[in-house]
Amino acid sequence: MAVSQVEPVLLCLLILCMSSVMVSSRSIRYTSPSVPRLTDGFPHVSITNGFSNAFGGSNIQVTGNGSTATLALDKSSGSGLASVNKYHYGFFSAAIKLPTGDSSGVVVAFYLSNANVFPHNHDEIDIELLGHDKRNDWIIQTNVYANGSVNTGREEKFYLWFDPTTQHHQYTIIWNNHHTVFLVDNIPVREFEHSSTFFPSKPMSVYATIWDGSEWATHGGKYPVNYKNAPFTVTFAEMEMSGCISNPNVAASCSKTPSSLDPVEGPEFVKLSSQQVTAMDWARRKLMFYSYCKDTSRFKVMPPECK
């Protein structure tokens, strides 16, 4: 083979080798620490009985006698479910399988909010799964709003230690009088302790949605949703909602008089165990890549909980 032929071949081999390294580096998966499976202690809720259609009804399919909901995003609309009841404190979980392929700009969310009741003074606890382009995998963003506008959010972002598109994984929110905890496959990734100045305090509905977040979700809106890949579908299963159901017609509130019937008031929910703390430290060291507490350009004076 002539030298002029060898050089292009070597160059091609080098490019293939570099591409292989880049792909393998993105596909590295961690073995997660062992933790108690809190999700095993709560009953699954029928989607048919526990939720109603919030928007995009034609893009919602409920199957398996109410055990699974498939939500779609296409050029006409996203879609979402809202819980029939509002809750003041509780344990909320969903097993979610995310869309495959290039999903930049797509947002899948499992969260609590009362923005429909308190549009200018609302609370919110968010798990948002942000779609990926060819450069990055899906990421999870957690956030908390309390008694104010969306300008007072407390975002943290993490990479996942698994491929969330191949099977269902559990995403969980614990919200009680002591703290708010975000968990992925029962591993705590974030604990937001109760603060008298910034803590969700009003009853909220539970939502499961998929929608177009092109303006901000992927690299600040650099990569919008490509509807050539639509429809984007996500499935929600193993829905769990256990806690204090808010009833405006009942004077006594379990938020003020917690009882042993409230599943998030047991001793295992007052604080994280040493095993959970170790697992959370692991997740934050290896997987967290953004925290508002380190964003000095956004906060000239850091919020008090950052100290």
The one catalytic residue in 124, 156, 191, 265 is 124
Question: Residue 4: is it exposed, middle or buried by C-beta count within 10 angstroms (0-12/13-18/19+)?
Answer: exposed
CA–CA separation, 230 and 66 (whole Å): 25
Annotated active-site residue 268? The verdict is no
> On the CB side of 10, how many CA atoms lie within 13 Å of its CA?
7
What secondary structure letter does DSSP report for 38?
G
Q: DSSP of 7-29, one letter per residue?
A: HHHHHHHHHHHHHHHHHHHHT--
Annotated active-site residue 128? The verdict is yes
The one catalytic residue in 128, 156, 191, 265 is 128
CA–CA separation, 182 and 170 (whole Å): 11
Place of tokens 């972002």: 157
| Structure tokens belonging to residue 230 | 């639509």
Question: Which residues does the annotation mark as catalytic?
Answer: 124, 128
